Amino acid sequence: MGDAATDYTIDELVVTALAKEFPDDTVAFNGAVSFVPVCALLLARATHAPNLIWVASSIAVDPQPKEIGESTLSDALWDGATMLQSSAADFWAYAQSGRMNSFCFRGAQIDAFGNVNNTVIGTYEQPKIRLPGGGGMADLGCQVGRIYLWSTTHDRRTFVDKLDFRSGLGWGDGGDHRQRLGLPGGPRVCVTNLCVMDFHQVSKRMRLRSVHPGVSVEDVIAQTGFELVIEGEVPQTVPPTREEVELIRRLDPTDARKREFA
Amino acid sequence: MSAEDKLWALGDAAELVRDGDLVAIGGLSLNCAPMAFCRQLARAGRRDLDLLAVVSGMAVDWLIAAGCVRRLIMGLTSFEGFGLAPSFRRAAETGSIQVQEWSEHTLICALQAATAGVPFMPTRAGLGTDMPALHPDRTWEAIDERSGERYLACAAIKPDVAVIHVHEADRRGNARMNPKLVWFDTELVKAAGRVIVTAERIVETSTFRQAPERTSIPGFAVDHVIEAPRGAWPTACWPEYPYDGDFYRSYQRAARDPKAFAELFAEHVAPLSTSASMGA
């Protein structure tokens, strides 16, 4: 894979770690404020997954943008697309049938089973903070089989034991809950600024898979509001190579990915 | 001629909406919302509107700030990277409007049920989330007796009026998106009782006859056509003009101070009455 880079930044580590999760048969689409997944999809396509199809903004099929703009829903991403799939009804047909199979989302709150809240902090009727709303996440969490979670704020405010509101479905109550609801697949991983987590096969509870260089298991435990599954020695996340860092900087020359890192 | 002439003046646009109507607003986030039309509603001081806006931002924020809104039926309301929609947020947190959160696909289902004239549309969307319980009389989980499969039933929503913005229309209501992301707009058009199209340009019907494959909405599905150049500003009318990021930023800055907001709002939208939701 080449030499480890020495001058990479955290956004490049997160993008690289997420990119590695996308297999070659990925047909993914992205929503709003999704700079990290867009970058990761571009990187995966440029490296190990040349057949990966990315539908930019859920609209532009297989584009080749020169840069990533201020909005991941804007036409700045659509250059070179083979189709502009412009109707929501068309989009949802392919998302429900499984032709489009992958979606990345996150939330203001994320729980141990990968369910997310993007609706309210506090009660629904009298919110302390009224957030934008579940949007398409409430739908696609149920409809799409491969869900990838990410967060650039791994702390106890984000990773909570109990969501104030369940806007988007991950593994639900855990175990076979999704299956009982008749829903496909579920969340595969959650990549954060501290670590990579996947989900225990049976309980579907988040499990610590690797910690980023410079982060300890104790750090992650301290910043997580629920009990993580930890099995044996937790390895370090493989840092990006020089080639990967160069690629990321070429694919995202305006550093749009850094918008998600305060 | 007169029977087919659906042209309406932008200045009289608010007459097409009654207080208390359920108004569906087109557009997608920062893209192609009927902003000029919303400005007219704000200026006319329409009250007690129920809005349906699947993924909106500035349009909804203007109407809430102007005190026009009783209830918002929505999937998501934000300014994306420009932050939370400030008037929406404040109104939801103080309870001055009722926010009825659905989701994107459940709202499409509700519109499609209205279009088809059936009581509800089934979907897997929303299963296992907290959303259906927010409006259990409109969305409920059920099990199909024959297959044993679970679904969420989405009761029909029929907007009184739908308003969308397009690139070109003729006096008969034929409308063309040239191209733009249609996204939810055509679902709103199909479901609504009355349809209003605002257009960057009014063109001759011959323009449509020359390229009928590019017509997005047939004239018979449209009730009123309004000429509104730059009518989507500050949202984008891709590919003719982009969203105005500077306006979003200055709007956010002004929203921190009631006086600055009132000034900005009076200049670009409508004077705020003292009873409007911002100050009161």
Q: Mean pLDDT in runs of 10 for chain B (280 residues)?
A: 81 98 96 97 98 98 98 97 96 98 98 98 98 98 97 98 98 91 91 98 97 95 98 95 96 97 98 60
For residue A178, which residues of chain B lie inside 8 Å, CB to CB?
128
pLDDT at residue A41 above 90? yes
**pLDDT tens-digit series, residues B126-179:** 999 999 999 999 999 999 999 999 999 999 999 999 999 999 999 999 999 987
Average of per-residue pLDDT across A31-36: 92
Q: Answer yes or no: is B248 within a domain.
A: yes
A137 and B130 Cβ atoms separated by less than 8 Å: no
Q: Indicate if A150 and A167 belong to the same structural domain.
A: yes
Q: Is A109 part of the contact surface with chain B (CB cutoff 8 Å)? A: no
For residue B103, which residues of chain A lie inside 8 Å, CB to CB?
133-139
Which residues span the domain enclosing A228? Answer: 103-237
3-state class of B173 per DSSP? coil
Q: Indicate if A115 and A79 belong to the same structural domain.
A: no
CB spacing of B30 vs A73 below 8 angstroms? yes
Average of per-residue pLDDT across A101-120: 97
pLDDT at residue A62 above 70? yes
For residue B131, which residues of chain A lie inside 8 Å, CB to CB?
134, 138, 167
Q: Indicate if A86 and A10 belong to the same structural domain.
A: yes
Q: Answer yes or no: is B274 within a domain.
A: no
Of the residues A34, A58, A59, A71, the best mutation for testing chain B's interface (the one with the most B CB atoms within 10 Å of its CB) is A71
Q: Rounded distance, CA A227 to CA A234, Å?
A: 15
A130 and B84 Cβ atoms separated by less than 8 Å: yes
> Using omega within 30 degrees of 0 as the cis cutoff, is the peptide bond preceding A63 cis?
no
Size of interface A-B (CB pairs under 8 A): 159
Which residues span the domain enclosing B205? Answer: 7-12+20-119+156-268
Q: Indicate if A207 and A156 belong to the same structural domain.
A: yes
User: Cβ-count burial of A135 within 10 angstroms (0-12 exposed, 13-18 middle, 19+ buried)?
Assistant: buried
Least reliable range by pLDDT among A5-9, A43-47, A72-76, B134-138? A72-76
For the domain that residue A57 is a member of, what is the CATH number? 3.40.1080.10
B244 and B208 Cβ atoms separated by less than 8 Å: no
Q: Indicate if A73 and A116 belong to the same structural domain.
A: no
Q: Is A167 part of the contact surface with chain B (CB cutoff 8 Å)? A: yes
Q: Indicate if A194 and A247 belong to the same structural domain.
A: no
pLDDT at residue A75 above 90? no
Q: Answer yes or no: is B276 within a domain.
A: no
The pLDDT value recorded for residue A163 is 98
Q: Rounded distance, CA A66 to CA A85, Å?
A: 20
**Percent of chain A scoring above 70 in pLDDT:** 100
| Residue B74 C-alpha, separation from nearest chain A C-alpha, in angstroms | 8
Q: Answer yes or no: is B111 within a domain.
A: yes
For residue B95, which residues of chain A lie inside 8 Å, CB to CB?
125-126
Q: Indicate if A41 and A91 belong to the same structural domain.
A: yes
Sign for the pseudo-dihedral over CA of A76, A81, A83, A89 = negative
The pLDDT value recorded for residue B182 is 77
Non-local (6+) Cβ contacts of A250 within 8 A are none
Q: How confident is the model at residue A1 (pLDDT cuts 50, 70, 90)?
A: low
The pLDDT value recorded for residue B277 is 46
Nearest by CB: B125 against A88, A143, A165? A143
Minimal-distance CA residue of chain A relative to B149? A182
State how beta strands A146-151 and A186-192 pair.
parallel
Q: Is A139 part of the contact surface with chain B (CB cutoff 8 Å)? A: yes
Q: Answer yes or no: is B206 within a domain.
A: yes
Sign for the pseudo-dihedral over CA of B261, B262, B263, B268 = positive
Nearest by CB: A92 against B76, B78, B105? B105
CB spacing of A141 vs B129 below 8 angstroms? yes
Q: Answer yes or no: is B241 within a domain.
A: yes
Average of per-residue pLDDT across A87-107: 94
When the pLDDT of each residue in chain A is averaged and rounded to a whole number, the result is: 96
Q: Indicate if A109 and A64 belong to the same structural domain.
A: no
Render the burial of A93-128: b for 16+ CB within 10 Å, e for the rest. ebbbeeebbbbbbbbbbbbbbbbbbbbbeeebeebe
User: Cβ-count burial of B194 within 10 angstroms (0-12 exposed, 13-18 middle, 19+ buried)?
Assistant: middle
For residue A106, which residues of chain B lie inside 8 Å, CB to CB?
none
Q: Answer yes or no: is B132 within a domain.
A: no
Q: Answer yes or no: is B278 within a domain.
A: no
Number of domains in chain B: 1
Q: Indicate if A163 and A230 belong to the same structural domain.
A: yes
A135 and A31 Cβ atoms separated by less than 8 Å: yes
Instruction: Locate B271 and state its tokens.
Output: 């004077």
Phi first, then psi: what are they for B32, rounded to 5°? 50, 50
pLDDT at residue A231 above 80? yes
Strands (E), chain A: 27-29, 53-56, 60-61, 83-84, 102-105, 109-110, 116-117, 120-122, 127-130, 146-151, 186-192, 195-199, 206-211
Instruction: Locate B64 and state its tokens.
Output: 């809430």
For residue B126, which residues of chain A lie inside 8 Å, CB to CB?
138-139, 142
Q: Indicate if A231 and A115 belong to the same structural domain.
A: yes
Q: Indicate if A70 and A128 belong to the same structural domain.
A: no
A45 and B1 Cβ atoms separated by less than 8 Å: no
Q: Is A230 part of the contact surface with chain B (CB cutoff 8 Å)? A: no
Q: How confident is the model at residue A76 (pLDDT cuts 50, 70, 90)?
A: confident
Number of domains in chain A: 2
Of the residues A34, A130, A143, the best mutation for testing chain B's interface (the one with the most B CB atoms within 10 Å of its CB) is A130
When the pLDDT of each residue in chain B is averaged and rounded to a whole number, the result is: 95
Does the predicted interface ipTM exceed a cut of 0.90?
yes
Q: Rounded distance, CA B155 to CA B114, Å?
A: 8
Q: Indicate if A198 and A250 belong to the same structural domain.
A: no
| Residue A187 C-alpha, separation from nearest chain B C-alpha, in angstroms | 14
B226 and B165 Cβ atoms separated by less than 8 Å: no
For the domain that residue B245 is a member of, what is the CATH number? 3.40.1080.10
Identify which of A44, A32, A21, A181 has the alpha carbon closest to the alpha carbon of residue A113.
A181
